């Protein structure tokens, strides 16, 4: 299936969308990659969903991506006496490191917070609905002043925007989930709450090339190391939920643009996520502001936009995907889109980038019907996509895992081709594939990027113009 758009759609699977028939409808209406949120659900349930997606892939002949999103070290309050309490602005509260204090002190069973927090540091509870500032602290007790009051209740999430915590990057649950996901053949693994570039080292060793690694940017500390994080990751997710809690909301749009531009410069796919069409969890149509938000991500040059609760638990999952598809296609069809993307194009940074850019420029100058990348690892395709050439990008690869990862990449249509043995047969296969997919005229051309010697990963150094006549 070839979509009539360039940006991709990622949809989260949940109770509203896990049935095989619903997965099919979501795919038919525009989903390219399915996200499995491992903060919820049992392994057996996730295995059933993965099997259904792979069956759908086999039936349609279209590679479909699966993204496993690990929960990460989520920080929460313990159980409060009475289950809940109201707090007022100006009130002084005390937190204890015990899970249950037996007093009016609030349980915060995370000793690493007490070791790292400093006076003046802020605590945001329940997605920032209640906000506090630390007045004083000891090894097991924190005194804080309420800046914004509200209701506190059991197990609500806690954000600490001013504090870098010494937390395990992978919890024991994450390790079990990761082992399961890799055994199931997921295509991408998303690491939550990345604080610094070194957080990616251990999981990179564990994955060992079996999946692509997505670094989720949702902590202010990650922004200070964003260039190093982007270079170490295989893809980036701008997770605006927690990020929008921990930094002022007025800063989020500019940060989104900065991260997308950086990812394009480093040839990394980038996903914009969280609350894109949030009102459609309970309404059949989005707000105008939500439609504008999706369009803004597309104008910024995002590879993909993501649905969370809208497709996982919402009342209108199919309609939400269809609306997102229409917004993307309408945005990409506007004259301003091409101008905006071209104006934000980053210059080539490496020899490999220069080859990709040269191929894209040549294809555009010739008015080529398509660009074809033969890629063993997907890196050549990512470099071409980062140039945003506004021509169909056909990716040929021997590895079905790479084909599935291309379902996250801007404008990439990937096919697995195992019969190609040498350079000449690769050129013939590229021509015949484009002839089948695109129905070109005899005088049309395609531009092919590959490597010589043929078939070696990381050797893209050849540009070939081929015709259909």
Contact 72, 37 (CB under 8 A): no
Contact 274, 127 (CB under 8 A): no
CB crowding 320-332: b at 16 or more within 10 Å, else e: bbbbbbebbbebb
Per the annotation, the verdict on 76 as an active-site residue is yes
Contact 130, 149 (CB under 8 A): yes
Rounded to an integer, what distance in angstroms lies between the CA atom of residue 239 and that of residue 306? Answer: 10
* Active-site residue (options: 76, 79, 129, 141): 76
**10 Å Cβ neighbour count for 14?**
21
Contact 165, 113 (CB under 8 A): yes
Per the annotation, the verdict on 216 as an active-site residue is yes
Contact 407, 63 (CB under 8 A): yes
**10 Å Cβ neighbour count for 375?**
28
Q: How far does Cα 394 stand from its chain's mean position?
A: 22
**10 Å Cβ neighbour count for 215?**
25
Q: What is the DSSP string of 342-391?
A: HHTPPPP-SHHHHHHHHHHHHHHHHT-SEEEEE-SSSHHHHHHHHT--SS
Per the annotation, the verdict on 240 as an active-site residue is no
* Active-site residue (options: 101, 274, 331, 380): 274
Q: Which residues contact 431 (CB under 8 A, 6 or more apart)?
A: 446, 466, 468
In sequence order, the β-bridge partners of residue 445 are 467
* Active-site residue (options: 5, 122, 216, 257): 216
Q: What is the DSSP string of 452-467?
A: SSTT-TT-EEEEEEEE
* Active-site residue (options: 35, 257, 264, 388): 35
Contact 96, 139 (CB under 8 A): no
Contact 87, 153 (CB under 8 A): no
Q: How many residues does the chain have?
A: 469
Per the annotation, the verdict on 122 as an active-site residue is no
- The set of catalytic residues is 35, 76, 216, 274
């Amino acid at each position: 299936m070839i979509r009539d758009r360039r940006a991709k759609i990622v949809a989260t699977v949940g109770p509203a969308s896990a049935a095989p028939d619903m997965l099919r409808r979501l795919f038919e209406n525009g989903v390219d990659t399915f996200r499995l949120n491992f903060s919820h659900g049992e392994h057996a349930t996730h295995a059933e969903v993965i099997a259904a997606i792979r069956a759908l892939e086999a039936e349609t002949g279209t590679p479909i991506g699966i993204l496993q999103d690990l929960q990460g070290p989520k920080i929460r309050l313990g159980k409060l006496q009475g289950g809940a309490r109201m707090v007022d602005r100006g009130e002084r509260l005390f937190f204890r490191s015990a899970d249950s204090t037996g007093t009016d002190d609030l349980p915060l069973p995370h000793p690493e917070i007490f070791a790292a927090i400093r006076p003046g540091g802020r605590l945001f509870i329940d997605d920032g609905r209640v906000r506090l500032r630390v007045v004083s602290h000891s090894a097991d007790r924190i005194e804080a002043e309420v800046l914004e009051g509200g209701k506190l209740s059991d197990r609500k999430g806690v954000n600490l925007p001013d504090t870098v915590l010494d937390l395990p990057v992978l919890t024991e649950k994450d390790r079990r989930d990761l082992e399961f996901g890799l055994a199931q053949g997921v295509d991408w693994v998303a690491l939550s709450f990345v604080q610094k570039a070194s957080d990616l080292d251990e999981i990179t060793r564990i994955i060992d090339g079996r999946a692509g690694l997505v670094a989720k940017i949702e902590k202010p500390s990650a922004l200070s190391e964003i260039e190093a994080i982007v270079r170490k990751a295989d893809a980036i997710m701008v997770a605006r939920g927690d990020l929008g809690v921990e930094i002022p909301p007025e800063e989020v749009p500019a940060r989104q643009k900065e991260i997308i531009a950086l990812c394009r410069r480093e040839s990394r796919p980038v996903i914009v996520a969280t609350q894109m069409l949030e009102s459609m969890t309970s309404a059949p149509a989005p707000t105008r502001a939500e439609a504008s938000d999706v369009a803004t991500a597309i104008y910024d040059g995002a590879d993909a936009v993501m649905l969370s609760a809208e497709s996982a638990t919402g009342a209108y999952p199919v309609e939400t995907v269809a609306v997102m598809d229409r917004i993307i296609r309408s945005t990409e069809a506007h004259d301003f889109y091409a101008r905006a993307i071209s104006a934000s194009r980053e210059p080539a940074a490496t020899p490999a980038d220069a080859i990709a850019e040269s191929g894209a420029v040549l294809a555009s100058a010739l008015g080529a019907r398509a660009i074809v990348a033969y890629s063993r690892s997907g890196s050549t395709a990512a470099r071409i996509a980062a140039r945003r050439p506004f021509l169909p990008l056909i990716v040929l690869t021997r590895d079905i895992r790479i084909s599935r990862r291309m379902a996250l990449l801007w404008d990439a249509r990937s096919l697995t081709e195992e019969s190609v043995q040498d350079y000449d047969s690769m050129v013939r296969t590229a021509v015949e594939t484009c002839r089948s997919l695109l129905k070109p005229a005899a005088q049309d051309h395609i531009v092919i990027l590959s490597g010589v010697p043929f078939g070696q990963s990381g050797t893209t150094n050849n540009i070939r113009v081929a015709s259909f006549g």
